[in-house]
Amino acid sequence: MDEIFVMNRDGSGVTQLTSGSVNEQTNYPYFSPDGTKIIFSSDRAGVGLDHIYVMDANGANLTRMGEDIENDTGDHSRFSPNGNKILFSGDNVNGNADIYLMNYDGSNRTRLTNVSGLNFNASFSSDGTKILFTSDRAEGNFDLYLMNVHGTGLVRLTNHPAEDSMGVMAP
């Protein structure tokens, strides 16, 4: 069982924000840009898949986002720099994982990638115009890719036998 805790920068004031079942995994928590919300993935729905949840920074008002999405994994879900959009990876029925973007309220879900393979670990540029992500779309090797926020202008950034994943962009 994994839970989300917060604490002060000096290590004091440790507070547990989530409390789930023994088998529940709670993963990848990230604060919203304004620090008032936390987004994370969890299988608390009991369907064997992680879903995207948002809660207040104090643990109140837990909400499952995009409840009509049956196959979102929520892996590395992130808020856009202005906090109005959510970026996430989702598994489809063919065993692939694609990058999706949706409004903060869960509406207007848009698939940004649509290729065989795994596309995940997506993050926004600081100005919100680009998305960096990991994919094994070429030769089955994990490399870093960059695309525009609407899924256009794809650029492969790395190309060698080592696994390249979990990239971050400097502000």
Please say if the pLDDT value at position 66 is more than 70: no
Q: Which residue has the tokens 């094994």?
A: 136
* C-alpha dist (Å) from residue 59 to 14, 38, 100, 166: 13, 8, 25, 27
Is residue 42 a part of any domain in this protein? yes
Computed over every residue of the chain, the mean pLDDT equals 85
Range of the domain at 119: 5-156
pLDDT(101) > 80: yes
Rounded Cα distance between 152 and 51, Å, is 26
Tokens of 79: 């808020």
Region 71-91: what's the mean pLDDT?
82
pLDDT of residue 74: 63
CATH number at residue 87: 2.120.10.30
Tell me whether residue 62 is exposed, middle or buried, using C-beta atoms within 10 angstroms of its C-beta: 0 to 12, 13 to 18, 19 or more.
middle
Structural domain includes residue 171: no
User: Measured between alpha carbons, how far apart are the two ends of the chain, in Å?
Assistant: 34
pLDDT tops 90 at residue 82: yes
Q: Is the CA virtual torsion 10, 2, 72, 99 positive or negative? A: positive
What does the pLDDT average to over 150-156?
A: 95
Whether 104 maps to a domain, the answer reads yes
169 domain residue, yes or no:
no
48 residue type, one letter: G
Give the pLDDT mean for 22-41: 84
How many domains does the structure of the chain reveal? Answer: 1
| The pLDDT of residue 59 | 93
The model's confidence at residue 84, banded by pLDDT at 50, 70 and 90, is very high
- Asked if the structure places residue 35 within a domain, the reply is yes
Dihedral sign of CA atoms 61, 42, 51, 138 in order: positive
Q: Answer yes or no: is 28 within a domain.
A: yes
